[in-house]
Every structure is written in structure tokens, then in C-alpha cells.
Structure 1
Amino acid sequence: MLDFRPISYVFGRILIVLAILMVAPAIVDWSAGDSNAWAFVVSALVTGGGGGLVALATVNRAVGAFDIRQAYLLTAAIWFGLPVFAALPFMLGVPHLNFTEAYFEAVSGLTTTGATVIYGLDEMPAGMNLWRGLLNGAGGLGIAFVAMIFLPVMRVGGMQFFRTEGFDTFGKALPRATDIARDLLGVYVGLILIAGVTFAAIGMTALDATVHAIAAIATGGFSPRDASFNPYSGAGEYFGALFMLLGSLPYIRYVQLVRGTPRALWRDGQVRAYLKILAVAVGSVTLWRWLTSDMDLETVFRESLFNLTSIISSTGFFSGSFSLWGGFMLPVAFVIGMMGACSGSSAAGLSVFRVQLIWAALVQQIRLIVMPGRVVPVKYDGRTVEPDVMDALILYVGGFILTLGVLTVAMTLTGVDAMSSLFAVWTCLGNIGYGFGPLVERTGTFVDFPDIAKWVMTLAMISGRLGLLAIFVLVLPRFWQR
């Protein structure tokens, strides 16, 4: 029989951490004399109290390793349950959202999607904008832990390929998961600090620099301004693109970098392919826009670099008039958004690793047609890819595309136009946060979508972050009968 107590204990501890995070925005608003601080105080008491009671009630069963079913359930509990408590400040304080919109906003923050239903960010209390940034930061760090520890064990989407590599033979022996997690935390916080100092140096306010730094490294995309990076065009776009790029590289490589193996980052075939894909996308869109408009080359390049990096890294910041360009830019943005960035980071999408393997498998099949007697195994970075990895990978990619189609149809049934529906599901399933379509143009947010459509988008965000198959597994009767 499945024991829920270890899951409940860990979930309770996570709620306590979430409550502690609520203290920071409460202090910010209290220091500014804003009564919105009480929304965070009440939310922290409810969240911390509930988490503490759950943890205390199950502490005597907290010892022991998790089995595979408990790993699935804990992951699902975090992504479905945590936003309920993270949504409390949005309902109790400004902007006083209803539950649907508050849950949407919390899910978007924790899954680092960056899609928002709030318009009027510039006038919101500073603490609330900080809270949105903290949700991105907590979600990004949690996703990195899940990508490095849980997904390889859960065998989701071919990630079992990294199970041995991630903890034993990444160039040389690495310590156990807890030591990697500690190093990862140091690297993550260090990158945020560097980004924050850099953004402040180019003229951002303290709040903008802090939130943008957290959201860039977490590839979360929440900004304290309705215009996102437009107030900081120029240097802000170049440095923003740099930090979004750094946040979308495999975190395990940073751990190696800290441990004295700097070459591992560049030797990673996934990293090299990612940079090449981004370069081709930026170069082609820049050339197309320069030839078809009266914009100068530097402006076109800067906006293309920033926005396409935001899309492929699944961040969600925007600048300039890029979202209105249309034409050749749209299919390029759609493809790289689906593809995503590197596995093992907080970025989402299919991931470059999976795209590389699918391409390698396609090439292998073509060779088999030409030379049927030749047996050539699929390889990745010199390692043979086992059949179970390829089976999981093909199932994941097929499920991703099928889910995109089904949820897009579901969106249109809610009354949303076809283009807005397709790109809304695309941005949520890929945790991209970047909006296109008629319903997004007025505010640049998803506030004009009907509530039922927001629930479809919320399901897409969680499905994309859980790796799709984790949800499908949970609804199978056999999962509960074992």
C-alpha cells in the first residue's frame, strides 16, 4: 500500500519555506508604509501554519528513501498544491484577483512560464512585484533540482540517459545529490547576484534590477513593468539576453565549473547545438527584418537577439515591437519555442537534447533504408543511446505534439480565436510566457481570455513542467494498485 506520509512531510516542509519567502515582500511593503503588507502576513501565517501542522503530523514517518510512485506523487503535489498557497497574496492583497486568475499567476510563476493576467504592474505595491519575482526564483531552483534528481529516476522523456552521467561520470566523479544540490544553490544565487548588480549598474531601479535578475536566471520572465524591458532598451537588452542565455544552460556544468572542470561546458554537445540554433534564428530574423523594413540594422539585431533568446530559453521577457513583426518571424519563434533550451536547466520545451536525439534517430532510419544490412546505434556525445531511452523520448515528443493539438482545440471551444489559442497553448506548454495573437495585443497579457481558457492554459503549464508523462501516469489505475 502506498504510504503518503513521507510525501506529506516533505510537502509540509516546502510550505514552510514558501511562508518564509512571503516575509520579504511583507517587509518591503511595510517599510514603504503600504497596507498591502498584511496580505503577505496573513498568507505566511496560513501557509506556514498549514505546512507546520502537516510536517509535525507525519514527522515520525519521514525517514527513508522514496520509491518511484512516491517520487511521482511528490512532484505532482508540488506543482498542483503549492500554487494554491502561493496564490493567497494575489487574492488577499493588490491586485485582488479571483481564485482562477490568482492560481494562474502562481502556477505561471512557479513553473517559470512568465505568462501573466495582471495589467498595471508599474502601479502595484513593490512587495507584490517582488513576490512574483520570488515565485520565479523558487520555481527555477526547484525545477533544476527536479531535472537533476527526480526526472532521471522517473525515466521521463529519456532523461534516464543522464542518471549515471549526472551523478557519477560527468568527466570525473561527482559527489552525491545533496552535495550537488548545495553547489547548485551557490551557483544559482551567485548568478542572480551578478545579474542584479549588472542591471543596477546600467540604470535599473533596485526593484527592477532584483526582479529582472531573478527572473532572467530562473528563465521565469516576470517583470515589474507592463512594458517589460522596453524602459531599458539598449544595454538592458544585451545584458538581459546574456543572463537569459546563462540561465538556460545545464546547471550541472556550472557545478563542474566551480569544481575546477571549466572545459565541460563547451564540450557539451547540447550547449554547442543550442548556441548554433540560436545564432541561426537570430541571424535569419535579423536579415529578414532588415531587408523588409526601414529599421536600422543594430536595432533589428538587438530586438531579435533579446526576444528570440527570451523565447528559446522559455523566459518570457519582451522588448520593442517584436511581437507585432509577424511574417517570417512567427514560424521561427514557434519552432525554437517548441524546441526550448538545454536539459538540466530551468528552461522548458522539448529541449535541445531531445531534438538532437530525434534528429539522430531520423538519420539512422534513413541510413537503414539506403543500407538495410548496416547496424548503426544512435549515439550522443560518443555514448550509445539505449533503446529504453529512445522509446521514452519518442513517447514524450509524440505526447507533447498531441497535447499541443488537443489543448489548442479545447481553447478554441472556449471562444478564443484560432491564432490566440495556438500560441496560448504553445507558450504555456513550453513554459515560454511570450504572447501572440489578437487577445494578447491590447495589454500584452492574458487577462482578456475567459476563465475556462485560463484553466486550460494552467493545465498546459503544469503539464509542460511535469514532463507530460508524469500526469498521464498518475491517472492510470495500475499506478495505484501496485
Structure 2
Amino acid sequence: LTQWIGGMGIIVLTVAIFPLLGIGGVELFVAEAPGPTSDKLHPRISETAKRLWFIYVGLTCTLAIVLRICGMSTYESICHAFTTMATGGFSTRNASMAAFPPLIQYVTVVFMFIAGINYTVIYFGLKGKMKRVWQSDEFRAYIGLVAFLTLLVSVQVHFLSDVGWEQAFRDSVFQIVSLITTTGFVSADYTSWSMGLTFIFFILLFVGACAGSTSGGIKIIRHLVFAKNSILEFKRIVHPRAIIPLRLNGQVVRRKIITHIIIFLLLYLSIFVVGSLVLTWMGLDFLTAIGATATSIGNVGPGIGKVGPVDNFAWLSAPIKLFLSLLMLLGRLEIFTILVLFTPYFWRTN
């Protein structure tokens, strides 16, 4: 229940509240949405929040009913519906989703994927405005990334683990969607497949799904802006007199927003490096340290090393748990929000 309430709280903050406060959200929100940026859902925050809550509650109830029909108990279907739509990943079973049959895993994958979509995009999709949906560069990149990685990993799992195509596909798509959306459910031990695949899943800890969703992590929109800007900088070097604006969803992205995103990425990676060094100094081995840091700041759940998909954080010392809690808070509130709260200028102007 706490995960479910917190999930919608993040949606309302990023879509409705942050733009008013001007901390980390306003420029990013303008850059993030596909067309929802210009007209949002409703000019009044209260109406926007109501519509977001309606979608969130509706999807949660739908998932709970579907899980119940598929054979889950009423209690477990409600619990997993809460934590799936919130991309929280808490399960009633120690084995997580591996304890449930394939049909339930497939249903969970679909709703995890939906939970990783920008809620303004979901809103326009439900309204039948599919042109608005497909205008989103981030949404298309999200689908493409999941599809490409599922194909790549499925083939390798099939041949490396000597399992059938169906199980290879199911295990692959489940873990990929779970990590990208930062839900954190597990259905298989991806660290046992191969070092190459373990590296891919480690990288996924830094991706995140769409902005304006309940997922954590860096978010695909920031990766898109950074990648496009890097390509444009190369073109500007080749053609120094050319004026080549960066476009996202058909709109020009202001230089201020690009700078904001680059600074965010640098801060994120800096916190990751420092966090990993601190955990190593506190006694963790290198692999576990980088895995714990990456999964904590990204709010994912499973990592690599001794905090992998079949392990947990219970064995860690109290100081390490406190430090990881700080990283989780920084990551969940998008770093800038926390840092701004500690600046005198913010309190004087607000």
C-alpha cells in the first residue's frame, strides 16, 4: 500500500507540482511530454491530479481483477497490483514472481510495461488520440529498446541455458521490463546466464522508463536528449557555421534544458562512483558495491553481486543500509529536488 500511494505521489509531483516550484521539474516536464507538454491534461493542478489518479486507480483495479482470474488469491492479486502499477516490486513470495505460473508472469509484464509509460501518453491513448501517442520520441524509443533487448537476450538465453524458446522469451522479457521500469520483480536469476548478459542487465539499472511514469532511474528522455545532443555537437564541429537545433517530439529543445539534463547525468554518475567507493570502503566487494549503488539510486531492487536477483539486502550492516537509503531518496526525488532544498536561495524566494 505504501508503494502504491508513493507511486502516484511521484506522478503528481513530476507532472503537476514540480512545474510550479521550478525545481527540477519545470524545464524537464517541458522537454519530456510528447505534445502533452504544450497543453498538459488540464490547466488546473487539481483537475490534472484527479485525472492521473483516475487512470492509476483504474489500471490497478484492472490488474487486480485479471490476476485474480488467472489464479492468484484475492489478497495476493491486490498486493501485486499495488506494487506493479507503482513499479515498486514488493512481492508476497520470497521467490518473487518466479513462484507464479507463466500466465501470471505474462500479465505482470504487460502491466509493468504500461506502468513505465508517461501517464500523459496513457491519457491520450485512452482518449483515442493515437497520433499524440506516436508523436512521443520517448515512447517509441521505449518500445524499441524493450523489443530489441528482448530479442537479443532471448536468443542468448535459449542457447546458453538450454531452455525452450517460450521460457527463454518469457524470462528475458520479464527481467528486461522489470529492470527498465525499475519494478524489481524477478522470475529468474539473470546473473547465472552469462557475464555478457549480466553486464547488459547492470546497464539497465541506469536506464529507467519514461518520464512522467512511476518508474525511477535516469529516464529514457534524458538519454535521448544526451544522445541527440552528442550527435549534433559532432555535426557542429564538421559544419561550424550551421545552426542545427535539437528537436524532440517535433519541437526545439532549449539550450537551458539540454544543460540541465547534462548536469543531471553528471551528478547521477558522480553519485554512483562516490557511492560505490564508499560501499567498498565499508567492506563490500567491488561487484556488490557497484550493484548495490546502481540499484539503490535507480530505485530498482535487484542488482548484481551479493545483492542480485536471488539475494537481498538483509545481511548488510546498519550503516550500509542507512547509506543506501540516502541513495534511494536522492534517486527517487531526482537529485536536484533534494539539493535545492539545502540552498538558502530557494527558501528566500519561496
Quickly name the TM-score band, shorter chain normalised: over 0.9
CA displacement at 1:480 relative to structure 2: 4.4
Among 273, 287, 293, the alignment partner of 1:405 is 273
Counterparts of 2:58 and 2:82 in 1: how far apart (Å)? 11
Counterparts in 2 of 1:53-452, with a 5 A limit? 134-153=1-20, 154-156=22-24, 158-162=27-31, 166=36, 168-170=38-40, 174-438=42-306, 440=308, 444-452=311-319
Shift of 1:321: 3.0
Superposed displacement of residue 138, structure 1: 0.3
Instruction: Give the SS at the match of 1:159.
Output: helix
State the one-letter code of the partner of 1:179: E
Distance in structure 1 (CA, Å) of the matches to 2:252 and 2:108: 37
Structure 1 residues 418 and 163, CA gap change in structure 2 (3 angstroms) = closer
Q: Is the 8 A contact 1:285 1:328 kept in 2?
A: no
CA drift of 1:161 comes to: 2.0
Looking at structure 1, the residues matched to 127 and 156 of structure 2 have their Cα atoms a distance apart, in angstroms, of: 43
For 2:93 and 2:304, how far apart are their aligned partners in 1? Answer: 18
* Cα distance, 1:429 vs structure 2: 0.5
Would you say the 8 A contact 2:23–2:336 is kept in 1? no
Query: Is the alpha carbon distance of 1:346 and 1:253 closer, same or farther for their aligned partners in structure 2, counting shifts above 3 Å?
Result: same
Whether the 8 Å CA contact 2:291–2:307 is kept in 1: the answer is no
C-alpha contact (below 8 Å) 1:148/1:166 kept by paired residues: no
- Kept in 2, the 8 Å contact 1:151–1:159? The answer is no
CA distance in 2, matches of 1:340, 1:266: 20
Question: Quick one: which of 311, 322, 341 aligns to 1:455?
Answer: 322
On the 8 A contact 2:36/2:121 being kept in 1, the answer is: no
Deviation at 1:168, TM superposition (A): 4.5
SS in 2 for 1:406: helix
Output the aligned Cα RMSD. Answer: 2.0
Q: TM-score, normalised by structure 2?
A: 0.93
**Matched-pair contact (CA < 8 Å) for 1:152–1:163:** no
Contact 1:167 1:177 in 2 (8 A): no
CA 1:295–1:285: 2 relative to 1, 3 Å: same
Runs of 4+ off more than 4 Å: 162-168
1:466 counterpart (328, 333, 337): 333
Specify whether residues 342 and 163 from structure 1 end up closer, same or farther in structure 2 by C-alpha distance, changes over 3 A only: closer
CA contact (8 A) 1:233 1:319 kept: no
For residues 235 and 32 of structure 2, what CA distance do their matches in structure 1 show?
29
Mapped contact 1:223–1:317 kept (Cα < 8 A): yes
How many residues matched?
Answer: 346
Amino acid at match of 2:77: A
The Cα of 1:262 is off from its aligned counterpart by 4.0
Structure 2 residues without counterparts, runs of 5 or longer? none
| CA radius of gyration, larger in | 1
TM-score, normalisation: structure 1: 0.68
Distance 1:383 1:455, change over 3 A: same
1:15 equivalent in structure 2: none
Query: What is the DSSP-based 3-state SS (H/G/I as helix, E as strand, rest coil) of the residue aligned with 1:460?
Result: helix
Greater Cα shift, 256-265 or 239-248: 256-265
Shift of the alpha carbon at 1:412?
1.2
Q: Secondary structure at the match of 2:39?
A: coil
Amino acid at match of 2:4: G
Q: Distance in 1 between matches of 2:109 and 2:42?
A: 30
CA distance in 2, matches of 1:341, 1:373: 36
Summarize deviations over 1:57-116 as a string: whole Å, max 9, x none: xxxxxxxxxxxxxxxxxxxxxxxxxxxxxxxxxxxxxxxxxxxxxxxxxxxxxxxxxxxx
Aligned sequence identity (%): 27
CA distance in 1, matches of 2:32, 2:154: 39
